[in-house]
Amino acid sequence: MKRISAMLITAVLTVLFCIIPGQCETTTDYPSLKEAYEGKFDIGTAISQQTLVDMKLREIIIRQFSIITAGNEMKPQSLLDITKCAELAREDETAVAVRFTGAKLILDFAQKNGLKVHGHTLLWHEQTPEAFFHEGYDTKKALASREIMLGRMENYIREVMAWTEERYPGVIVSWDVVNEAIHDNTGWLRKSNWYKTVGEDYVARAFEFARKYAADGVLLYYNDYNTAYPGKLNGIVKLLEQLIAEGNIDGYGFQMHHKVGSPSMDMITRAVERIAGLGIRLRVSELDIGINSKSETNLNNQKAMYKAIMKLMLRFSDQTEAVQVWGLTDDSSWRAGTYPLIFDNFRKPKPAFYGMLEAAEEQN
Ligand code: XIL
């Protein structure tokens, strides 16, 4: 509710603000990131159903980006119809029912406007109903067996891929097959419900099913955060090497939810170089860089870090599919308190936006 009132106030202020000549930029008054990066890689953003209600944000998305991701609407929590799953389980414990209520709006928007979609995410330990992992889809019952969970995993992946490909052929160009499997402290697989039910090979099995049901040419990614930290990086590399050996993975997604200066650009560079060395595709899937306040110095440091990350990815443009920011305006970010994005609350491009732009311009 608080978030909605804040957004309404911003919208009203924006309208008032725009009455003053010269104070209101239209979406064509400044360059387009996707044009600046054309021929190099896609530039994208995460959006939500709410984003699409705002006509100005729709214009910004269409002009600035070539690829979008649903911030929440294509996660298991949104796609699984657990009530229906429980009904079906009376006949078949592995049956899975899905629904695409929010996803549909985002896929329609992408299809109508010629935008690609990166699917996020098939398997994750978060934003997945607990009941999905239990016998009868009932949290009061025991965790389901490996056999049941492999059945549910295959059915879920098949249903999601079949539904999206049938109605939106070619729109989803890539998927995060598994998200955040590596634990920050142990540097190896976290003991998630997937791990507890299926076991050590659950990530590999997910890639196997994803490959089996994905349309030709759809790229399959493993996606994680804190890649720049050596302990975690070692675990991620070990997992990627195992997946590469099985032949079903295409690439790695660096989330990059950072703060200015943390981790350092040196650490980020080393991590990107190491994973690039594995010879797989790369993407920055969820870029945002937090600052403590909107002081001029902070905004400029934020710009510098956005620019440095883009320059780094441009070094690997042959391997990079896309760089995607995780949202549009600071106030709608999941890290709203840290002003981490490239548009301000008035939907104006921030210095960070120009940092991304300059990196491309200086390359040409
Ligand atoms: C976040 C969304 O942006 C929020 O709206 C939601 O409340 C929580 O999830 N890593 C991921 C994303 O892979 O799915 C997360 O998205 C951010 C961290």
The C-alpha atoms of residue 90 and residue 103 are separated, in whole angstroms, by 28
Q: Exposure string (b/e) for 189-205, b if CB count within 10 Å is 16 or more?
A: beebbbbebbeeebbbb
Say how many Å lie between the CA of residue 20 and the centre of ligand 1.
36
Q: What is the dihedral of CA 35, 285, 241, 128, to 10 degrees?
A: -150
Beta strand 42-47 with 116-119 is unpaired
Pinpoint the alpha helices (H) of the chain.
2-19, 33-36, 55-64, 76-79, 82-89, 101-112, 146-167, 193-198, 202-213, 230-246, 265-276, 296-315, 351-363
Ligand 1 proximity of 333 Cβ (cutoff 6 Å): no
| Peptide bond just before 320 cis, omega within 30 deg | no
Q: Cα dist. 240→52, 126, 246 in Å?
A: 35, 21, 10
Say how many Å lie between the CA of residue 364 and the centre of ligand 1.
34
Which residue, judged by its Cα, is nearest atom 5 of ligand 1?
334
Which amino acid is located at 245 in the chain? A
Ligand 1 proximity of 179 Cβ (cutoff 6 Å): yes
Mutate to test the pocket of ligand 1, among 72, 184, 222 (most ligand atoms within 8 A of CB): 72
Q: What is the pLDDT along the chain (364 residues), one digit of tens a residue?
A: 566 666 667 666 666 655 544 456 688 899 999 999 999 999 999 999 999 999 999 999 999 999 999 999 999 999 999 999 999 999 999 999 999 999 999 999 999 999 999 999 999 999 999 999 999 999 999 999 999 999 999 999 999 999 999 999 999 999 999 999 999 999 999 999 999 999 999 999 999 999 999 999 999 999 999 999 999 999 999 999 999 999 999 999 999 999 999 999 999 999 999 999 999 999 999 999 999 999 999 999 999 999 999 999 999 999 999 999 999 999 999 999 999 999 999 999 999 999 999 999 998 7
Structure token pair of residue 39:
């021929």
Q: Which residue has the tokens 């996803």?
A: 103
Active-site residues: which are they? 180, 286
Ligand 1 atom nearest to CA at 46: 3
The C-alpha atoms of residue 250 and residue 239 are separated, in whole angstroms, by 13
Which residue, judged by its Cα, is nearest atom 7 of ligand 1?
334
Ligand 1 proximity of 255 Cβ (cutoff 6 Å): yes
Q: Cα dist. 317→276, 313, 355 in Å?
A: 11, 6, 17
Structure token pair of residue 279:
């010879």
Say how many Å lie between the CA of residue 201 and the centre of ligand 1.
25
Ligand 1 proximity of 332 Cβ (cutoff 6 Å): no
Say how many Å lie between the CA of residue 283 and the centre of ligand 1.
17
Ligand 1 proximity of 71 Cβ (cutoff 6 Å): yes
Instruction: Give the sign of the dihedral formed by CA 207, CA 38, CA 327, CA 58.
Output: negative
Say how many Å lie between the CA of residue 77 and the centre of ligand 1.
12
- Contact 146/197 with Cβ under 8 angstroms? yes
pTM given for the model:
0.94
**Residues ≥6 apart with Cβ < 8 Å to 279:** 244
Ligand 1 proximity of 77 Cβ (cutoff 6 Å): no
- Contact 186/132 with Cβ under 8 angstroms? no
- Radius of gyration, CA atoms only, the chain: 21
